[in-house]
Structure 1
C-alpha cells in the first residue's frame, strides 16, 4: 500500500511526527550551537564574553603594534634623512681629500723644482767661485805687472795716536796706512819710516810699508792699517 493509499489521519499524524522531529532536530542543533559557542583558547574553555575580551586584548595589542609601526616609520624616515646628510658630508670630504691630494702632488712637483734650482744654484755658485778666483788671480797678475796695491779681504785695524808694537798690538804684515787726520808716522824711531800722513800738499794720503814683528810704531794721529799684498 502506497503513501497516498493510507488514511488521511495517518498522513496527518506522520506530518506532525515529522514536524516534531524536525523541531527536535532544530532545537538540538541550536543547543549544540549554543554549546559550541564556547571554545578552547590556551587549553581553557571560554565563553563568548571571554572570547570577546580576548579579541579586545588582541585589538589593543594590534593598535599598539600599529602605533609602534608608525614610530618605526618615523625612525626610518629620520635615519634616511641622516643617511642623506651623511652622504653629503662624505661627498664633501671626498672633494676635500681630492683637493688635498692635488695640493700634495703640486707640493711634490714644486719641491722637485726647488731641488733642481738649488742644484743649479750650487753649480752656478761653483762656477762663479771659479770665475772670481780667476779674476783675483788676474788682478794679482795685473798688480804684479803694474805695481798696484791689492787690499786683502781682512778687516782694517784702526790705531789711535800713540806707540804700538808689531806682533803685539798689530800682526806682522804688509799694510796700507790711511790717516784720519794730519800727523807724523814713524817706525823704529824714524829709522824705517818717517813720513807725514794726512791731507794736503805736504802730507801723504796713504803709505804702504812692511810691518815686521818687533817694529815700534809711533803715530801722532789715528790711522787705518789695511792688509795688502
Structure 2
C-alpha cells in the first residue's frame, strides 16, 4: 500500500512540474503577444504616394492615422490643423531621421517638400 501511495505521489509531483513548465511557456507567449500588439498594425487601406506639394485631408485623402516615410533623399514634412497650427514638423530621411506616425482630421493640410509614402495604420 505504501509503495502504491509513493507511486501516486511521484505522478502528482511530475504533473505539478509539467503544469509549472506549461505556465511558464504561457507567460512567455503572453509577453511576446503584448510586445507584438504594441507594434503598428497596417490598416486595410492602400498606401498613398505624395509628391512635393500641399494636400487637404478629407478632400485629397481620408482622415486617420498614418505612418509617413520618405521616398528618395529625404524631405521636410508638415501637417497643419484646420486653424493653420502646425501639428507635425519633421524631417524624413534615411540616415538620422526615420519614419513618423501621426493622426489627421478633415480639414488638416499636409505639406511635403519631397516624395513620400503615407501608409494607413491602426
1:216 alignment partner in structure 2: 109
Q: Residues 217 and 199 (structure 1 numbering): CA distance in 2 closer, same or farther, change over 3 Å?
A: same
Consecutive unaligned residues in structure 1, runs of 5 or more: 1-138
**1:158 equivalenced with 2:53 (yes/no):** no
Secondary structure of 1:192's counterpart equals strand
Greater CA radius of gyration, 1 or 2? 1
- Is the contact between residue 175 and residue 209 of structure 1 (CA under 8 Å) also seen in structure 2? yes
2:121 alignment partner in structure 1: 228
Q: Residues 222 and 140 (structure 1 numbering): CA distance in 2 closer, same or farther, change over 3 Å?
A: farther
Query: Which structure has more helix as a fraction of its residues?
Result: 1
Runs of 4 or more off by more than 3 Å in structure 1? Answer: 139-142
User: Number of aligned pairs?
Assistant: 87
1:176 alignment partner in structure 2: 67
Q: Residues 185 and 179 (structure 1 numbering): CA distance in 2 closer, same or farther, change over 3 Å?
A: same
* TM-score normalised by structure 2 residue count: 0.64
Q: Distance in 1 between matches of 2:88 and 2:70?
A: 15
Consecutive unaligned residues in structure 2, runs of 5 or more: 1-32
Q: Residues 216 and 140 (structure 1 numbering): CA distance in 2 closer, same or farther, change over 3 Å?
A: farther
1:191 alignment partner in structure 2: 86
Instruction: Report matched runs for 1:69-84 at 5 Å.
Output: none
- Is the contact between residue 166 and residue 213 of structure 1 (CA under 8 Å) also seen in structure 2? yes
Let me know the Cα RMSD of the aligned residues: 2.2
